[in-house]
Amino acid sequence: MRKTYLAYLIVAALATLPWVVGGRYVFHVATMITIMIPLALSLNLMLKVGQLSLAQAAFMGIGAYGAVLLTMRLDFPPMLSVFAGGLLAAATAAICGPVFLRIKGVYFALLTFAFGQIVNLVFQEWTSLFGGNSGIYGIPKLSVFGMRFSTTQHYYLFGLVFCAVCYVALRLLERSEIGRIFQALKEDETLSRSLGSNALAWRVAAFVGSALIAGIAGGIYGFYIGFLSPDAFTFWLSVDLIVMNVVGGATSVLGPVLGAIFIVPLPEFLREARAFQLLIYGVVLIIFLVLIKDGLVTLFERRKPG
Amino acid sequence: MVYQMLMNGALAGLIYVIMALGFTMIFGIMRIVNFAHGEFYMIGAFVVLLLFGSLGLPFFAAVLAGGVAAAVLGMVLERLLFRRLVHDEMPGMIMSLAVAIILKSLGLITFGPAEHTVPRPFTGTWQAFGAVAPWDRTVVAICALIILAIFYLFLKHSRLGLAMKAVAQDPETASLMGVKSGQIYRAAFGVACLLAGLAGALMAPIYNVGPYMGEMPMLKAFVVVILGGLGSILGAVVGGLLLGLSEAFLSTLLSPLAALIASFAMVLIVVIVRPNGLLGRTAR
């Protein structure tokens, strides 16, 4: 596992890169990476219980709109709103989860797809609350202990802290007994149920946790960008998160982190056209699915026998 | 009013059936959820835009060409990308997402993000029992019925159709009987994409044509197959008509968004009460 430390070193070096290179734009891309890493991790948590969730973008949207509206309409302090938005997303998952996860696998993917589309349509159509396709403007800045986040660097630092918290939490979870239960559920549900684990409850717990992370990331995004519209939270964002997991390697927690670092800056080289960006994502995804099945993370891991 | 809603529901529902049939067939035979199904619908529509809208070829020739184009592309992609993932649900889904992204981006690159209009080959309306139906939608519905009838005869009476059903029910026994699974996968993917392409081609003059046009029909197809039972042909027919009718009633009485939310609620209820769908196989 020596090589894992190498990966940590590389990630840490990349994290300081924006200060070396400098410039507002570099910090913007870096901040977007720190928002996408927790989202990719939230999808990874669902993959750990063997389920493909296509609702992560919707949870991000619920967190983002929830947080921003709590501050703009009810005068919540922005920082509190970010976490309240996350809780809102988690509560939604807690309500839907027991139904969605009754039937697993393909049905779960289809149900979360439909859920995501409908949440997005609600953002578009309920104009009095969500502002419709013209969106919500004039979102105030975040602040901690009276200090306002006035530059991109502040958001970047905050994003880094949140990434680290999510990563450590998921890593601890993976190593704990719960991690083993998740793995058993993924590999042989009947067997793990016969050993007394409540399959549905653990899956719902993973779903709620992943929605919480996605919701908080959404809140940070909302206050950072300062403008919300439904097209930031479409199904295609959920697909981007899948691309990050496949490219980085979904079997490890480090995988989605590497995936996000690799994937998020990619379209910046061809900023002009969303079309070419999609094309590259698709081609990269197929290359990894066919040729590099376990993702970038394999570069840093001992080859497992067999 | 009731007749009008029944009519609207049947006209919409028939297209949902065509979309859902192909989708459910690919799943039933290959265990692959095809997220690119809406993109094959888009391809059919783009072919009509080119051949009928720009070059002025006869409408039905353009529709057929649209279906065939989608089918050929589907068969090529099946051989190159999907064959290796048959019966492997998660990677299969992700591969279909990759294909969906690529096809959509190619649509965006070739035709731009804007929506194009295709001139209507049929205009005017007709009436029955006080309900008014536009001719263009009626022609689509008649074509959908013809497609359904041919599809039914194909499954029931052709060797290939029977072999497909055999593979869907029990791949091992089917292969013992000399059915070559590779051929069946190619044929199933081809027929499914043919259906999606025809649906898109038929709908091209009714809705606008653009790279994002496949998303809504795909969402509807998902709803239909969960309602009817994934992998069930009869379920797709019943589910499609049910969805078309319920939407027609609710969007007339309430709003289109309410209808969509209600259809999702309907899906959730089916999931709770009958997890394998209204007509899905219970043994699992």
CA gap A252, A2 in Å, rounded:
15
For residue A33, what pLDDT band results from cuts at 50, 70 and 90?
very high
Chain A (283-302) residues lying within 8 Å, Cβ to Cβ, of chain B: 283, 285-286, 289-290
Q: Which among B95, B99, B275 has CB closest to A103?
A: B275
Give me the pLDDT at residue A1, please. 54
CA gap B231, B27 in Å, rounded:
6
The pLDDT tens digits of the residues spanning B207-216 come to 888 888 888 8
Q: Which among A103, A246, A279 has CB closest to B105?
A: A279
The pLDDT tens digits of the residues spanning B192-235 come to 999 999 999 999 888 888 888 888 888 889 889 888 888 888 88
Q: In this complex, how many residue pairs, one in chain A and one in chain B, have their CB atoms less than 8 Å apart?
A: 107
Which burial class, exposed, middle or buried, applies to A16 when counting CB atoms under 10 A from its CB (0-12, 13-18, 19+)? exposed
Q: Cα-flanking dihedrals φ and ψ of residue B276, to 5°? A: -95, 15
More confident site: A96 or A133: A96
H/E element, A143: strand A143-144
Other Cβ atoms within 10 Å of A211 Cβ, number: 33
Chain B CB contacts of A48 below 8 Å: none
Residue A89 lies inside a defined structural domain of this protein: yes
Residue A132 lies inside a defined structural domain of this protein: yes
Chain A CB contacts of B81 below 8 Å: 286, 290
Q: Is A169 an interface residue toward B (CB < 8 Å)?
A: no
Is pLDDT above 90 for B99? Answer: yes
The structure tokens listed for A58 are 């919707």
Residue B244 lies inside a defined structural domain of this protein: no
The b/e string for B238-271 (b: 16+ C-beta within 10 A; e otherwise) is: bbbbbbbbbbbbbbbeeeebebbbbbbebbbebb
Residue A73 lies inside a defined structural domain of this protein: yes
How many structural domains compose chain A?
A: 1
CA gap A123, A58 in Å, rounded:
10
How many structural domains compose chain B?
A: 1
What do you get for the CA distance between the two ends of chain A, in Å?
A: 17
Is pLDDT above 50 for B284? Answer: no
Contact A115 B264 (CB under 8 A): yes
Contact A282 B102 (CB under 8 A): yes
CA torsion, ordered B14, B16, B17, B22, to nearest 10 deg: 140
CA gap A260, A266 in Å, rounded:
10
Asked if residues B42 and B107 have their Cβ atoms less than 8 Å apart, the reply is yes
The structure tokens listed for A59 are 């949870």
| Amino acid identity for residue B34 in this structure | N
Give me the pLDDT at residue A70, please. 92
- Is this complex's ipTM strictly greater than 0.90? no
Asked if residues B215 and B97 have their Cβ atoms less than 8 Å apart, the reply is no
Give me the pLDDT at residue B155, please. 87
Is pLDDT above 50 for A11? Answer: yes
Give me the pLDDT at residue A18, please. 84
Give me the pLDDT at residue B280, please. 67
Domain containing A170: what range?
Answer: 2-234
Chain A CB contacts of B271 below 8 Å: 99-100, 102-103, 107, 111
Q: Cα-flanking dihedrals φ and ψ of residue A49, to 5°? A: -95, 15
CA torsion, ordered B140, B145, B147, B151, to nearest 10 deg: 160
More confident site: A232 or A22: A232
In the beta sheet, which residues pair with residue B131? B128
Which burial class, exposed, middle or buried, applies to B148 when counting CB atoms under 10 A from its CB (0-12, 13-18, 19+)? middle
Residue A286 lies inside a defined structural domain of this protein: no
Q: Tell me which chain A residue has its CA closest to the CA of residue B277.
A: A107
The pLDDT tens digits of the residues spanning A159-200 come to 999 999 999 999 998 888 888 888 888 877 777 777 777 788
Residue B240 lies inside a defined structural domain of this protein: no
| Amino acid identity for residue A10 in this structure | I
Chain A CB contacts of B33 below 8 Å: 106, 109-110
Give me the pLDDT at residue B283, please. 38
Tell which residue, B245, B255, B252, B253, has the closest CA to residue B12.
B245
Asked if residues B213 and B207 have their Cβ atoms less than 8 Å apart, the reply is yes
Residue B246 lies inside a defined structural domain of this protein: no
In the beta sheet, which residues pair with residue B125? B134
Distance from CA of A59 to the nearest CA of B (A): 17
Domain containing B194: what range?
Answer: 2-211
Residue B120 lies inside a defined structural domain of this protein: yes
The strand pair at A143-144 and A147-148 is best described as antiparallel
In the beta sheet, which residues pair with residue A165? none
Tell which residue, B195, B198, B171, B197, has the closest CA to residue B184.
B171
